[in-house]
């Protein structure tokens, strides 16, 4: 074939370049995860009588957020969502739950040793644990899909692991900054939690450990212990008194604004990041 006969490939169209751009993918990925949750909760609140809205709407919202993400990866990214592969999912999620609960119990134990964490009784029957369960399942899936599967993963693909970790810190902290009673320690600790959860993702390139860890911590401090969680009112099974300075107990924001939580989550992030596979992009 002569030079004159060679076919020169046409450049990608503007539409193609737009939809493969990382910023576009981040926006569309977040919409794909967020919209099903918002619509499910809004429509059930409007259409379903309150006595019939127990448990299932939150679990449905969690399932639809996963489905929305799967559609995003299939239709836009043209790939299989390997980060949600089911092989080994139960084991990894269980490990994550154990890690989150262990960190939470370590914080509670240190506060108790300092005289700043005392169980004073029970607020309700143990059935409340079941009531709290679906909400924290939904929160763990929803936030991990947005911040790890979409934001962290896409930023890392384009700009490298270090940039993605910085974005993970800032994004997770800023997403919680408007919560009631937020303070400086709470902002930094929330950002460090984002680093830790991203490090969980880096260990396996799957979401199950981070989802489990997120759930384990939240369920402990929202379902088991009646302690404010990220500025939300305390409502757990075991009533807890937190006497002491705000920098130690976290005050009205909860133990997520405690310096002890900052240190322990920071240590967890450091250990996990050192354990990540060395083939991870680091530029």
Give the tens place of pLDDT for each residue, 192-205: 999 999 999 999 99
Q: Is residue 283 part of a domain?
A: no
Q: Is residue 190 part of a domain?
A: yes
Domain containing residue 48? 3-275
Q: Is residue 119 part of a domain?
A: yes
- Note the pLDDT tens digit of each residue in 129-141: 778 899 999 999 9
The structure tokens listed for 26 are 């981040």
Q: Is 98 left (phi over 0), alpha (psi -120 to 50) or beta?
A: alpha
Phi, psi dihedrals of residue 85, rounded to the nearest 5°? -60, 140
- Note the pLDDT tens digit of each residue in 98-152: 999 999 999 999 999 999 999 998 876 667 777 889 999 999 999 999 999 999 9
Q: Is residue 282 part of a domain?
A: no
Q: Is residue 89 part of a domain?
A: yes
Number of domains composing the chain: 1
């Amino acid at each position: 074939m002569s030079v004159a006969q060679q076919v020169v490939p046409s450049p990608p169209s503007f539409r193609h370049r737009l939809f493969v751009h990382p910023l576009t993918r981040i926006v569309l990925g977040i919409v794909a995860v967020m919209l099903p949750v918002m619509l499910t909760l809004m429509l059930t609140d409007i259409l379903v009588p309150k006595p019939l809205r127990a448990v299932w709407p939150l679990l449905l919202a969690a399932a639809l957020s996963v489905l929305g993400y799967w559609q995003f990866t299939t239709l836009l990214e043209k790939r299989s969502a390997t980060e949600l592969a089911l092989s080994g999912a139960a084991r990894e999620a269980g490990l994550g739950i154990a890690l989150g609960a262990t960190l939470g119990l370590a914080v509670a134990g240190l506060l108790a040793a300092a005289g700043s964490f005392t169980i004073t009784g029970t607020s309700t029957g143990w059935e409340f644990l079941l009531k709290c369960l679906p909400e924290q399942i939904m929160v763990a899936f929803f936030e991990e899909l947005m911040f790890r599967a979409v934001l962290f993963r896409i930023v890392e693909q384009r700009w490298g692991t270090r940039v993605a970790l910085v974005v993970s810190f800032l994004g997770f902290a800023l997403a919680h900054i408007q919560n009631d009673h937020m303070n400086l320690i709470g902002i930094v600790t929330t950002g460090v939690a984002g680093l830790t959860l991203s490090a969980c993702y880096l260990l396996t390139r799957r979401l199950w450990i981070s989802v489990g860890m997120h759930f384990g911590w939240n369920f402990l401090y929202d379902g088991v212990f009646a302690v404010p969680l990220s500025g939300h009112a305390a409502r757990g099974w075991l009533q807890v008194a937190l006497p002491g300075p705000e920098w130690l107990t976290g005050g009205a924001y909860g133990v997520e604004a405690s310096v002890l939580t900052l240190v322990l989550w920071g240590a967890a992030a450091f250990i996990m990041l050192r354990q990540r596979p060395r083939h991870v992009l680091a530029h």
